[in-house]
Amino acid sequence: MARRSERLQGKKDALGEPQMHEMTVGTVLDSIGGLKRARDEEDNQDYDEDPDDNRDDEESPKRRRKRSKKAVSAKSSVPLSGTGEQPPEPSTKRQRMPEEFRKVRGRLGLLERLAKDVPLDVILEVFCYLDPGDLLRLARTSKDLRSILMSKSSESIWCIARGNVEGLPPCPVDLNEPQYAHLLFESYCHICMHSGRRETILWKFRMRSCRKCLWTFPSAWIDDAYYGDHPLGAAYRHLDILPRESVKRRSSHRRDQIGHTEIAERHKTEYDALETEDDRKAWLTRKSEERLAITKHSELCERWYRARLEDRADELNDIRMERKEAILTRLDEIGWRDEAEKIMDGPFHHIDPFSNHKSVKQSKKLTDHGWHYIKDELVKLLSDHKAARVAQERSRLLSSRVSSFQKIYNVILSEYDLRNPFPTVGDILVNKVFEALIWDTPEDEALTDATIRSKLLEHLPGIIAEWRAAKIQELVEIMKKSHPTATADDLHLATTVFECKACYGNPLYYPQMFYHRCCIHNRNLRLNNERVLPFICDGPWTSTSIDFSDRYSNRARTIVEACSVDPTTTTYNDICAANPLIECLTCKRDPHVWDAGRYFMRWPLPILHDSGHDLNVNNLGEEEGKNIVAFEPSIRSESCSSICCAYCHKEQTTSISSLILHLKDEHIDIIDLEEVKDCHKLQELRQHWYWNPVILLKWMGQPFRYKELPQLPAPLALE
């Protein structure tokens, strides 16, 4: 292969061609001029490519080979160089590849002809522009190229190629140039020979390993067998001779220290071959220095490799950004760029669906053919996103309108007496007037609070009257299932009690069911307008979970009769105004237990009490009654708006102090200030408030116990 002719050399010398490298091509040519003769004389002077084994130079890493078709053996009659004849007329017909180069791999490929027909100085000039990885792959393409590149006399070519890689550390003394290139640029596991896996470069071991094969290495600290077979025993590990690698073999952040068995065995063999103690000490010193040099070089290689990965990542990211910008330019031409930019400006801009789309985030430049291939897919993505975005924007607008409507309606509703039933927001919104106001008002037209309030004040009285009559009739029909002669007036009686089937039979008095959560939180029923329900929490009201309760009604009749009033005419509000004090004789406790005392409660708590207990209503003497009332709690929970003012109907906390303060501030012209300020119990102001019908009966009041004090002995008379 050393075929630099005298004619070419003379021409080169005559022209005085300038040199392009620090190590010139002429120098390379001089060093390789007697390549063929040197190879014939010294066949054993070729480089070994892989430092880890003694494979033949022509052996390549084990890869899965594809089945190749039988190559055509005919030789080409088309010369590579001109013969001086006039070229034929240019033809518009596409020239065909000669048969010997069709579907051909190996020795009949184009690189084979390059090695045979191209002058050596041109080949060497080309080699000087490559990197060591390229040279290593070229050496595996043909025997002629391998004979050139794997010869030790070609070391200068490898040095020039290594200089083309920015920041690459120099070749270490324990590796030759091809071995160094093999470690740097080959991407397969040196143990299982599989490529395409995630390899870890073990710089100190001069090899690569996949994650699976990392488990074949022994632990450098806990594996006693790794050091124990050495003549020096366990102390050998502290001599800092054997290399160690810190690798991540587990899914956690913990890193393991591993060793290399073959290196340890090779060191042991060398140590055993030494005869004198001085030789062994010198050997230990030399190996320690070698390990230190390898460690320093490994650190340089690791920094270079990390920088190379970062540079490559930046390069790929730049390509992706250029591709995305090119796609945005193409989308601008067809009117979809604005939508793509809206996607990228979303709340999760770093993971937006456009930038992370498989057709956009590729690290490949965009071509006309590529754009034609991905255009329809991207347009569909953007059109779907636009439809979803428009729907979401409208949903937010409608939610904002409904929220404003609900706030204004609640303000208006707070001025009404809640002891009468009122429709929920859902009942109002399903009305055609307000449905059109919320949903049919153009999106670019502002719907102000003043407009909503004026519409409510205009149409609300008629809506309430119509709704109330219909819903009261629904309750009457439910009551008629048990009492066929029932009328709307019977709903107000103290003996008319309903119960909710959806919440374990909670008793409900009129008009509690119109504010009960099971009757208004019914979005799953989809009883009314489909486009209204997704935007409201309350309503429309339904009586599907309401039944007339015979057991609670009979219990209420017993209590009402015990109060010496007519159960057929006494209303719920009449009993609340009477505010009877009721004692459960069954719940009386012995004075010696911790919850001792007599058990008392106010209306309507006895409705919920055990039906088998004996109740005593207002059967107390005047003095005894005063003593018992003194034990009644004066303050209940202040966190719940359980009562309403009887004058302005605003919700209040069950605190005597807060109620008195409200009466002084808001209704000083109605109340008797002297009467109010002397009150210390909430029950003493019963005419100024009523229970909020929104809460359940079990929260209306608080039972208490009265513990009789023992009779004190009479004081002794002084003499």
492 Cα distance to chain centroid: 55
Residue with token string 């890869």: 63
Structure tokens at 459: 């149409």
Taking each helix axis as running N to C, give the angle between helix 261-273 and helix 277-333, from 0 to 180 degrees, rounded to the nearest 10: 160
Same domain? For 12 and 111 the reply is yes
Same domain? For 158 and 36 the reply is yes
Report the pLDDT value the prediction gives residue 121, as an integer from 0 to 100: 87
Residue with token string 């060093």: 31
In this predicted structure, which of 61-70, 104-113, 413-422, 540-549 has the lowest mean pLDDT? Answer: 61-70
In this predicted structure, which of 60-74, 188-202, 302-316, 534-548 has the lowest mean pLDDT? Answer: 60-74
Same domain? For 620 and 697 the reply is yes
Same domain? For 405 and 525 the reply is yes
Q: Give the residue, 324 or 621, on which the prediction is more confident.
A: 324
Report the pLDDT value the prediction gives residue 491, as an integer from 0 to 100: 95
Q: Is 695 exposed, middle or buried (0-12, 13-18, 19+ CB in 10 A)?
A: middle
Same domain? For 478 and 620 the reply is no
Same domain? For 645 and 512 the reply is no
Whether 634 shows a pLDDT value over 80: the answer reads: no
The answer to whether position 482 is within a domain reads: yes
Separation between Cα atoms, residue 505 and residue 696, nearest integer Å: 11
Range of the domain at 477: 394-548
Q: Give the residue, 32 or 595, on which the prediction is more confident.
A: 595
The answer to whether position 453 is within a domain reads: yes
Same domain? For 620 and 532 the reply is no
Strand order from edge to edge, sheet including 651-652? 651-652, 643-645, 689-691
Same domain? For 534 and 470 the reply is yes
Report the pLDDT value the prediction gives residue 470, as an integer from 0 to 100: 95
Cβ atoms of 549 and 507 within 8 Å: the answer is yes
Q: Cβ neighbours of residue 593 under 8 Å, at least 6 residues apart?
A: none
Residue with token string 């009586």: 543
Separation between Cα atoms, residue 582 and residue 703, nearest integer Å: 10
Structure tokens at 486: 């029932």
pTM of the predicted structure, to 2 decimals: 0.63
Strand order from edge to edge, sheet including 615-617? 615-617, 581-589, 597-602, 704-706
The answer to whether position 604 is within a domain reads: yes
Which secondary structure element, helix H or strand E, spans residue 405, and what is its range? Answer: helix 368-413
Domain count, the chain: 3
Same domain? For 451 and 524 the reply is yes
Domain limit, last residue, from 186, 203, 231: 186
Same domain? For 527 and 598 the reply is no
The answer to whether position 9 is within a domain reads: yes
Q: Cβ neighbours of residue 536 under 8 Å, at least 6 residues apart?
A: 402, 406, 425, 426, 429, 523
pLDDT tens, position by position, 55-78: 444 344 444 444 444 443 443 433
Domain limit, last residue, from 153, 186, 219: 186
Longest dimension (CA), the chain: 161
What value does the mean pLDDT of the chain take?
A: 81
Q: Is 91 exposed, middle or buried (0-12, 13-18, 19+ CB in 10 A)?
A: exposed
| DSSP per-residue string spanning 275-343 | -SHHHHHHHHHHHHHHHHHHHHHHHHHHHHHHHHHHHHHHHHHHHHHHHHHHHHHHHHHTT-HHHHHHH
Residue 677 banded pLDDT, cuts 50, 70, 90: confident
The answer to whether position 215 is within a domain reads: no
Same domain? For 517 and 619 the reply is no
Mean pLDDT of 384-398: 91
The answer to whether position 275 is within a domain reads: no
In this predicted structure, which of 562-571, 625-634, 664-673 has the lowest mean pLDDT? Answer: 625-634
Mean pLDDT of 418-438: 90
The answer to whether position 95 is within a domain reads: no
Mean pLDDT of 410-414: 91
Structure tokens at 403: 């929220």
Rg (CA), the chain: 49
pLDDT tens, position by position, 32-52: 444 444 444 444 456 666 665
Q: Cβ neighbours of residue 278 under 8 Å, at least 6 residues apart?
A: none
Mean pLDDT of 166-189: 92
In this predicted structure, which of 361-375, 433-447, 555-569, 612-626 has the lowest mean pLDDT? Answer: 612-626
Domain limit, last residue, from 141, 169, 186: 186
Same domain? For 398 and 530 the reply is yes
Count of other CB atoms within 10 angstroms of residue 158? 22
The answer to whether position 38 is within a domain reads: yes
